[in-house]
């Protein structure tokens, strides 16, 4: 038997496949399709301190090998999230990682303090990489000093593992990753969406209401694999790979590049069972190649 269990800052996962924030709701929408307990972990959609309506439509546009979105962090706010969405997961054993977003440092700190009291929350993922909001959030992910500040602020409010989700829309992601580690982050998720744009040639207007949006899907996978490898070489904390993962082969690429675990995002829209099938595929790969543990291939790309 091949061992596909992994450990992220003390958080033990039965397999290395999570679902990415913003692509799986808070889990309950997918219970007709999969057993949530078969996931490595469930990462919730970003939650903010107060309810957010998000951006006006159109907010999604399909592109070759991917999709653009400008959802704008639509969510019911932390109070409603805890009462309804988190409560709905009480009957499941899957680790729950709550993704948080704020406009100010104080909001991130307050969110972390609230979630620290929730037993059902296994870890916190800090979103400093959403390109679809006018203020806050991404400003913390492009400035290394701000990255350190937000990680330190959150860490002071919680004993739970703290993961930070980085944006690819920077000059050098290694610098921001190192700043996150210096701030005390327990792990790094990379990458979030790549800033993109699509124009309707007949109306001559952008196809998204906000003009630009975040590009996800297979189109960004080579960028994500490269950045995961760069981060892996720059820090000592675990890296969680994200970006265009549609199959177990894709996931294994990220693991060879240095990811301890992966998150499946856009793939969930095409195949609700994608994450479960990918975990099974990773195990089959290890068995076929006579590899005892997934840990034996983390970062083992032959360069």
pLDDT tens, residue by residue, 143-202: 999 999 999 999 999 999 999 999 999 999 999 999 999 999 999 999 999 999 999 999
Which two three-digit tokens encode residue 83? 């009462």
Q: Is the pLDDT of residue 138 over 80?
A: no
Question: In the chain, what is the greatest distance between 2 CA atoms, to the nearest angstrom?
Answer: 58
The single residue of 20, 36, 124, 130 carrying the catalytic annotation is 130
Contact predicate 136/180, CB 8 Å: no
* Residue-level pLDDT at 137: 62
Q: Which of 75-96 are b and which e, b meaning 16 or more Cβ less than 10 Å from the residue's Cβ?
A: bbebeebbeebbeebeebebbb
Which residues have C-beta within 8 Å of that of residue 62, sequence separation ≥ 6?
A: none
Q: Which domains does the chain have, with CATH numbers?
A: 6-54+72-194+217-297 (3.20.20.70)
Active-site annotation holds for 137? no
68, 198 contact by CB (below 8 A): yes
Q: Which pLDDT does position 129 carry in this prediction?
A: 77
Given this model, what pLDDT does residue 265 score?
97
* pTM across the whole model: 0.96
Q: What are 68-116's pLDDT values in tens digits?
A: 999 999 999 999 999 999 999 999 999 999 999 999 999 999 999 999 9
């Amino acid at each position: 038997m091949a061992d596909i269990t992994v450990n992220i800052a003390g958080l033990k996962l039965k397999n290395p496949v999570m679902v990415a924030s913003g692509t799986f709701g808070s889990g309950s929408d997918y219970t007709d399709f999969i057993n949530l307990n078969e996931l490595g972990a469930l990462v919730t959609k970003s939650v903010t301190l107060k309810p957010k309506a998000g951006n006006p439509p159109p907010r999604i546009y399909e592109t070759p090998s991917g999709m653009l979105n400008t959802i704008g962090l639509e969510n019911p706010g932390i109070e409603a999230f805890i009462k309804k969405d988190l409560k709905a997961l009480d009957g499941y054993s899957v680790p729950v990682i709550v993704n948080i977003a704020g406009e100010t440092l104080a909001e991130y700190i307050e969110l972390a303090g609230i979630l620290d009291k929730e037993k059902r929350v296994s870890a916190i993922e800090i979103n400093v990489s959403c390109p679809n909001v006018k203020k806050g959030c991404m400003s913390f992910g492009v400035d290394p000093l701000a990255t350190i500040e937000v990680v330190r602020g959150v860490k002071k409010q919680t004993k739970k593992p703290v993961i930070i989700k980085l944006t690819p829309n920077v000059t050098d992601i290694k610098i921001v990753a190192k700043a996150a580690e210096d701030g005390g982050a327990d792990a790094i998720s990379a990458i979030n969406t790549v800033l993109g744009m699509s124009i309707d040639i007949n109306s001559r207007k952008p196809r998204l209401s906000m003009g630009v949006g975040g590009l996800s899907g297979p189109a960004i996978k080579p960028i994500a694999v490269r950045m995961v490898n760069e981060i892996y070489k720059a820090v000592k904390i675990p890296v969680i790979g994200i970006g265009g993962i549609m199959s177990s082969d894709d996931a294994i690429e990220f693991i060879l590049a240095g990811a301890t675990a992966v998150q499946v995002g856009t793939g969930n829209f095409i195949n609700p069972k994608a994450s479960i099938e990918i975990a099974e595929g990773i195990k089959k790969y290890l068995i076929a190649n006579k590899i005892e543990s997934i840990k034996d291939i983390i970062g083992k790309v032959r360069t």
